[in-house]
Amino acid sequence: MSKSNNNILEVKNLCTSFFTDEGEVKAVDGVDFFIEKGKTVGIVGESGSGKSITSLSILRLIQEPAGKIVNGEIIFKGENLLEKSKKEMRAIRGNNISMIFQEPMTSLNPTMTCGEQIAESIRIHQKLSRKEAKEKAIEMLKLVGIPSPEKRVKQYPFELSGGMRQRVMIAIALACNPELLIADEPTTALDVTIQAQILDLIRKLQKELGTSLMIITHDLGVVAEMCETVAVMYCGKIVEYADVKTILTNPKHPYTIGLLNSVPRHDQHYEGDLPVIKGSVPSPFNLPKGCRFATRCPHARDICHNQLPELKTMDDGNQVRCWIHTDVWEKQEEEVASNS
Amino acid sequence: MLTFIIRRFLQIIPVMIGVTLAVFLMMHLIPGDPAQIMAGERADEAQVEQMRENLGLNDPLHEQYLRYVGNAIQGDLGTSIRTNRPVVNEIFDSRIWITIELAFWGTVLAVIFGLIAGIISATRKYSFADVSLMIVALFGMSMPNFWLGIMLIYFFSVNLGWFPIVGWESWKHMVLPVITIGSGGAAIIARMTRSSMLEVLDNDYIRTAHAKGVSERLVVYKHALRNALIPVVTVVGLQFGTLLGGAVITETVFAVNGIGRLVVDAIKARDFPMVQGAILVCAVAFVLVNFLVDIAYRLINKRIDLN
């Protein structure tokens, strides 16, 4: 994948760890990716793969001292966010980079009206008066498709449904016209019909406002719908990084293949159970020495268990972290063939 | 909001029926014949019968109760046996106001120090400030009022001579009793605020506030405190009620002529109408304070609904 100067965000060798009594947990371990202006990148992985921590690291919202960004660079519009002061970071949060969280039920303050919560970030970043901010809040509610916004603006979160609340979250996130929107599982807590509405809304607003989007999900359906590029994460590392078409039609990494196989397809007939990825995610305190997926991989050999493969760029520009796609693997195959 | 207040006010009625019933029955539950007790040990049969007639003890119980409540509503709580003055006058002429003053400033002190200590502790979890404040709070909770009162008198009045030892005249008289009565509450509120605040600071909406670029200060005081206060307000209300009743010890230590001492003196003199009246007034004050607390509660937490 080619890099251009058109990138709004470049994450380089990001390492975020949590320090517990049992030892260090490398939640994010050397992650690299970038987002082009106006484009959508998806980060996919199961729980504990480090995708949410990656997004929180970008906004530097990791709770210290338990968690810490130990290494790497986060370049936003040419400047490293990890070198910014706390005050400079506050000016960026909610203004240049915004975030939508997974849980609309608990992500809004129960003691503040929706209007107050939208107006707050407008007042902080755009220095508008109380009245102007309130008008802008009503405008934002209208933009995210909430009916009778003049009434809703005075309501408290508990008076709204889950879907409505997520719309309010989106209104808060987009209130200051951010250049980058990070959506951390924006539809996971919602039921299916509302999911589609929220995704449509995000896509529509992204097009209208020209926002770049980073979407974190474990739902490959969301990926197919929204993303141009996808990074698949496993145990704190990116294992495959490719354009969405390649990921969905011609995945290279056994983990990505496993993920895709476990999604039911309408054009396929299943005898018995859906295929699953056998085993479970290794403990973060005791990660395998070699490839982190080796313990569950159907193709694993000695080298997989002993040596961590690099993220290798393929001929088509896509990247994959797997021994199968290296010369070493082919050589071993030849050796096995000649020996027998 | 108005309907809330009205509905909440109506809820006071059954509580008041219960309170008056309990206070009224107190007279009948004490061992022995109340008329005999009130007439005194040396009274002869005729005098006791006369007392019984005066008190209306020969009427059916429900009539007595209704008469008691009817009189109470009109501000007649009977006549003190000891002083022969109306109980209402004894209580309201000065006694109750002193106690309310004491409890009020005690609560103010408890709230101010409790909140400040709780917020400092919660925002600097496990720091030196947090640990030392919580140790002080533990002392505040464990120290009995009479002991703290005596120690304060010993150091600040006897040794240093900063404050008068007893009495209730100027603000100088109030300092030590208020500290004595407020310290326990301050400690409870501090610990309550700390734990409530820590819980709130862990919530998703705090992360949302940070993600919006809200400053640390505003996150604590605007986003977190308002939510953390919900359980604290309850404690404050209960605290005020406890202080009204708990004033007995502090008032005795500092020889303050409040309602607490009035009750103690009345009990010693077997002045039953006086004891009943004082307890009833304290209970009503407690109910009213809780009514105000519920309104405050509603103001900070919009989800409270009587339905």
| Sheet arrangement for strand A97-100 | A97-100, A180-184, A212-217, A40-44, A229-234, A237-243, A319-320, A312-313
Q: What residues of A are in contact with residue B215 (Cβ under 8 Å)?
A: 90
CB atoms closer than 10 angstroms to residue A36: 17
**3-state SS record for B30-50:** CCCCHHHHHHCCCCCHHHHHH
Nearest CA in chain B to A57: B211
Q: What residues of B are in contact with residue A111 (Cβ under 8 Å)?
A: 226-227, 300-302
Both structure tokens of A262: 């476990």
Q: Name the residue among B229, B237, B304, B280 with its Cα closest to residue B7.
A: B304
Beta-strand relationship, A212-217 and A180-184: parallel
Return all residues near B119 (Cβ < 8 A) that are at least 6 apart. B193, B197, B220, B225
Q: How far apart are CA B200 and CA B208, in angstroms?
A: 13
Q: How far apart are CA B287 and CA A339, in angstroms?
A: 92
Q: What residues of A are in contact with residue B209 (Cβ under 8 Å)?
A: 109
Find the helix packing angle between A130-143 and A162-174, rounded to 10°: 120
User: Under an 8 A CB cutoff, do A109 and B301 touch?
Assistant: no
Q: What is the residue whose two structure tokens read 């993303």?
A: A227
Please give the angle made by the CA atoms of B57, B59 and B62, to the nearest 5 degrees. Answer: 105
pLDDT tens, position by position, B228-245? 888 888 888 888 777 877
Residue A2's pLDDT is what?
A: 46
Question: Helix or strand or coil: residue B278?
Answer: helix
> Which residues, in sequence order, are bridge partners of residue A234?
A237
Confidence label for B32 from pLDDT (cuts 50, 70 and 90):
low
Confidence label for B117 from pLDDT (cuts 50, 70 and 90):
very high
Q: Name the residue among A34, A32, A40 with its Cα closest to residue A204.
A: A40
Lowest mean pLDDT among A49-53, B16-20, B177-181, B248-252: B248-252
Low-confidence ranges of chain A (pLDDT < 50): 1-2
Residue B131 Cα, gap to closest chain A Cα (Å): 18
Q: How far is CA B96 from CA B23, B89, B92, B197, in A?
A: 18, 10, 6, 35
Superfamily of domain B94-300: MetI-like (1.10.3720.10)
Residue B306's pLDDT is what?
A: 44
Task: Give residue ranges of B with CB < 8 Å to any A CB.
Answer: 203-205, 207-216, 223, 226-227, 300-303
Residue B192 Cα, gap to closest chain A Cα (Å): 19
Residue type, A192: V
User: Under an 8 A CB cutoff, do B204 and A99 touch?
Assistant: no
Of all residues in chain B, the percent with pLDDT exceeding 70 is: 96
- Cis peptide bond prior to A264, omega within 30° of 0: no
Helix residue ranges, H only, B30-158: 34-39, 45-55, 61-73, 87-90, 96-123, 128-142, 145-152
CB A189 within 8 A of CB A162: yes
pLDDT tens, position by position, A94-152? 999 999 988 888 899 988 899 999 999 999 999 889 999 999 999 999 888 888 999 99
User: Greatest CA span in chain B, whole angstroms?
Assistant: 84
Question: Helix or strand or coil: residue A119?
Answer: helix
Confidence label for B75 from pLDDT (cuts 50, 70 and 90):
confident
Nearest CA in chain A to B225: A111
User: Under an 8 A CB cutoff, do A108 and B205 touch?
Assistant: yes
Residue B8's pLDDT is what?
A: 87
Q: How far apart are CA B153 and CA B164, in angstroms?
A: 8
Residue B208 Cα, gap to closest chain A Cα (Å): 6
The sign one gets for the Cα dihedral B111, B257, B156, B149 is: negative
Q: How far apart are CA B4 and CA B9, in angstroms?
A: 8
Q: How far apart are CA B65 and CA B139, in angstroms?
A: 45
Helix residue ranges, H only, B166-271: 171-201, 204-211, 216-218, 225-253, 259-268
Q: How far apart are CA A169 and CA A158, in angstroms?
A: 14
Return all residues near A3 (Cβ < 8 A) that are at least 6 apart. A10, A34
Q: How far apart are CA A251 and CA A261, in angstroms?
A: 11
Residue A98 Cα, gap to closest chain B Cα (Å): 7
- Look at residue B307 and tell me whether its pLDDT is greater than 60: no
Nearest CA in chain A to B298: A111
Please check whether residue A168 touches B, CB under 8 A. no
Lowest mean pLDDT among B171-175, B216-220, B301-305: B301-305
Confidence label for B173 from pLDDT (cuts 50, 70 and 90):
confident
Burial of B44 (0-12, 13-18, 19+ CB in 10 A): exposed
Both structure tokens of B99: 């106690």
Residue A180 CA from chain centroid, whole number? 12
* Element at A244 (helix H, strand E): helix A244-249
Both structure tokens of B217: 């200060």
CA dihedral B288, B289, B294, B298 (to 10 degrees): 110
Please check whether residue A165 touches B, CB under 8 A. no
* Element at A19 (helix H, strand E): strand A7-20
Q: What are chain A's domains? A: 7-235 (3.40.50.300), 238-265+283-339 (no CATH)
Mutation target to probe the A interface, by most A beta carbons within 10 A, among B196, B204, B212, B230 is B212
User: Under an 8 A CB cutoff, do A111 and B207 touch?
Assistant: no
- Reported ipTM: 0.86
pTM score, two decimals? 0.79
Return all residues near A50 (Cβ < 8 A) that are at least 6 apart. A16, A27, A28, A29, A31, A233, A235, A236, A237
Lowest mean pLDDT among A98-102, B33-37, B50-54: B33-37
